[in-house]
Amino acid sequence: MINLLRICNVRGCLKLNYLKYSSNIIIYKNNEVNYKGTFLKPALLSINENRFVRTRINEFEGSHNAENDNQEEKKDEKKKMSKEEIDEFKRKVLIGYLLISLSMGCILYFLTFNISKPPDDFKDINWSQVSSNPISFNEFYEKYLPTGEVKNIVILNASNIMIVRLHDGAIINGKAAKQNIISVQYDSNTFNAVQIINLIRDKERSINIKPGEEIPIKAIEGLSMRRIIELAIGLGILTFLLSQYGKLFIKKGIENKKK
């Protein structure tokens, strides 16, 4: 009588209607037969039956191994990114990095331009010519400022120079001024822009200039060598941080693509 035979291993079972034993016989990978709770050795089977069982077991295991290998290969293919995809992803990150760098450069340029921009009424001045023959700060403070002939002042911190515009037809020491624009040299170790402004305001109060009628003063930072070095260092640090962030972003992006 042909009964149900189940050939099993760790991956599953294979049913065979072949052996002449009672139903629900289970043959394990080690070729032992479990029959109603009792272990029987393969020797209890005939030679042909034993050979048939071993053949079916091998076929069963081989088919499952091949199927599992195919599943693993499909999973690996899904996780892997092609070289073209990686290159495309890196290109997008590089473009983003360049756009950020360009934007930061434009912002820095406009900030520097606005800081260094002179007042509107000083646009027509030849700065190099005016600053070529400056007077001392003490001379300006004692000789020009008390006359009330000063129209406005621009302090150039980067050059330690003040550009002073006088009123038209200004009289200095009883004489008409030869030019209405003069430059004043000051020592940065002695004065800074804030101290100069405070000194001028004190002088104005001493000569009874009313509040609201003070001399307009603008301080322009400019690009001194120290400021240029500071900006270069800052941009270098920022570029380094962006490059490191870009590498991390690329790595994370590739890992996410694989998932």
The pLDDT score that the predictor gives to residue 29 is 40
- Integer-rounded Cα radius of gyration of the chain: 46
Instruction: Give the DSSP letter string of 99-131.
Output: HHHHHHHHHHHHHHHHHHPPPGGGTT--HHHHT
The ranges of the chain with pLDDT < 70 are 1-83, 108, 110-131, 222-228, 246-247, 249-251, 253-259
- Spell out the domain ranges in the chain: 4-79, 120-215
- Confidence (pLDDT) at 130: 67
- DSSP track, 66-112: HHHHHHHHHHHHHHPPPHHHHHHHHHHHHHHHHHHHHHHHHHHHHHH
Q: Count helices and strands (H / E) in the chain.
A: 6, 12
48-92 tens-digit pLDDT = 545 555 555 555 555 555 555 566 655 555 455 566 777 777 777
Amino acid 11: pLDDT = 45
At residue 119, φ and ψ (nearest 5 deg) are -60, 160
Q: For residue 173, what pLDDT is reported?
A: 85
pLDDT digits (tens, 9 = 90+) for 117-143: 555 656 666 666 666 788 999 999 999
pTM above the 0.75 mark?
no
Task: Say if residues 71 and 213 touch (Cβ distance below 8 Å).
Answer: no
pLDDT for 257: 60
Whole-number pLDDT of residue 112: 62
Residues 6+ away with beta carbon under 8 Å from 54? 31
